[in-house]
A and B are shown apart, each in its own frame.
Chain A
Amino acid sequence: MSAYIPRYQGTVTKYVFVESPEMTPQDLAVRAYEISEGAMIKETCFGLQVTGTAEGVEKIIVALRELDPDHIFVKDRGFPPGDPRRCRANLGGARPGFFGHEFEISLIRHVSYGLHELTGRDATSIPHPPTPSPETKLDVDKLKKLVEAQEP
């Protein structure tokens, strides 16, 4: 076993996803470079990764969100960009976590629509979101009765 010395200690990394008809990741990256003030910006096919101090990253995120608030989405990332344990360049194939992002990005236009509609929505109206089916799983006692009924 060898000693582990973390890279980019004390930093936070955030993903910025853009799914907009009016903005590309490149537009977002140009704006991010302008205001980066020492933070590391990495442009990707879906948006950006921003790495830096918590305050610095938050400042950049707030400014980027203003560009297209309903179509820019942000989440935390545990690993810094290019980390050999996660980077596709070292591992090959899709990055772990890609499939989750791929799935949610396929639905995110509905969330963008919801955010857009939110401003004109009556504050007193009660929302009826998609909810899980109320069907319950098989009760243990019922299962036991079924098993006993099958015994010769």
Chain B
Amino acid sequence: MAKVFIYPATSLILSDLVARFGHTPLSAAQSIREHIQTAGLESPPLQISPEDPKKGLKYAAVEVPSGVRGRMSLYGPMIEDAEAGIIIHDADLAFGCMGCARTNELIIFLLKKRDIPVLELNYPKTDAEGAEFVAAIRDFLVGLGREK
């Protein structure tokens, strides 16, 4: 069972398919759960403490907005932990109220920089594309099982 980082990190489709084919999806929920289930000082809404942007310094420089560093403190350790990655490129939902464009670019860059298998796709817009999309993810994940 490999740990597969998914992008967008909140994706229902990727999270489900990775778990369905027997691997562990690394998604935003896990790191957020870890933060909000750790006792400490009240820091709503996500319990991001002043320490977190400092942890983000490992991935982004000090002059980068603290939002990027705060987000990277959630995603960075998961990218380091990942044994594979799946990226959906036309995921407009990852920008706006759901996330930050610069962080997204950094996440994709860090994933590609790591020497791990990465599958890059777009969302399926038709049934025929859906069939190919699911088959590609299945083959990629089955292949991970063989490599290990």
Chain A residues within CB distance 8 Å of chain B? 1-6, 8-10, 12-13, 15, 17, 73-79, 83, 85-86, 96-97, 99-101, 103-105, 107-115, 117-118, 121, 125, 127-132
In the complex, are the beta carbons of A127 and B139 less than 8 A apart? yes
**Which 5 A-B residue pairs are closest in the complex by CB-CB distance?**
A110-B130, A78-B32, A114-B134, A76-B29, A127-B135
* In the complex, B132 has a CB within 8 A of chain A: yes
In the complex, are the beta carbons of B29 and A75 less than 8 A apart? yes
In the complex, are the beta carbons of B120 and A100 less than 8 A apart? no
* In the complex, B42 has a CB within 8 A of chain A: yes
Chain B residues within CB distance 8 Å of chain A? 8, 10-13, 15-17, 19, 25, 27-33, 35-47, 89-90, 92-93, 96-98, 120-127, 129-139
In the complex, are the beta carbons of A6 and B44 less than 8 A apart? no
Give the dominant DSSP class at A's interface.
mixed
Give the shortest distance, in Å, between A62 (CB) and chain B (any CB).
Answer: 11
What chain A residues lie within 8 Å of B19 (beta carbons)?
74
The count of A-to-B residue pairs whose CB atoms sit within 8 angstroms is: 165
What chain A residues lie within 8 Å of B31 (beta carbons)?
78
Give the shortest distance, in Å, between A80 (CB) and chain B (any CB).
Answer: 9
Contact of A118 among B120, B125, B135 (CB under 8 A): B135
Give the shortest distance, in Å, between A24 (CB) and chain B (any CB).
Answer: 18
In the complex, are the beta carbons of B10 and A129 less than 8 A apart? no
Q: How far is the CA of A147 from the CA of B45 in the complex (A)?
A: 45
In the complex, are the beta carbons of A129 and B132 less than 8 A apart? yes
In the complex, are the beta carbons of B16 and A4 less than 8 A apart? no
In the complex, are the beta carbons of A77 and B29 less than 8 A apart? yes
Q: How far is the CA of A1 from the CA of B44 in the complex (A)?
A: 11
The chain B residue with its CB closest to the CB of A96 is B97
Q: How far is the CA of A9 from the CA of B129 in the complex (A)?
A: 41
Contact of B10 among A97, A130, A131 (CB under 8 A): A97
In the complex, are the beta carbons of A3 and B41 less than 8 A apart? yes
Task: Beyond the given A74-B16, A78-B35, A110-B126, please list 16 additional residue pairs across the A-B interface where CB-CB is below 8 A.
Answer: A1-B41, A4-B43, A6-B36, A6-B38, A75-B15, A76-B15, A76-B29, A97-B98, A100-B10, A100-B11, A101-B12, A110-B124, A114-B124, A125-B135, A129-B136, A130-B122
What chain B residues lie within 8 Å of A103 (beta carbons)?
92-93
Give the shortest distance, in Å, between B116 (CB) and chain A (any CB).
Answer: 19
The chain A residue with its CB closest to the CB of B121 is A129
Q: How far is the CA of A8 from the CA of B33 in the complex (A)?
A: 11
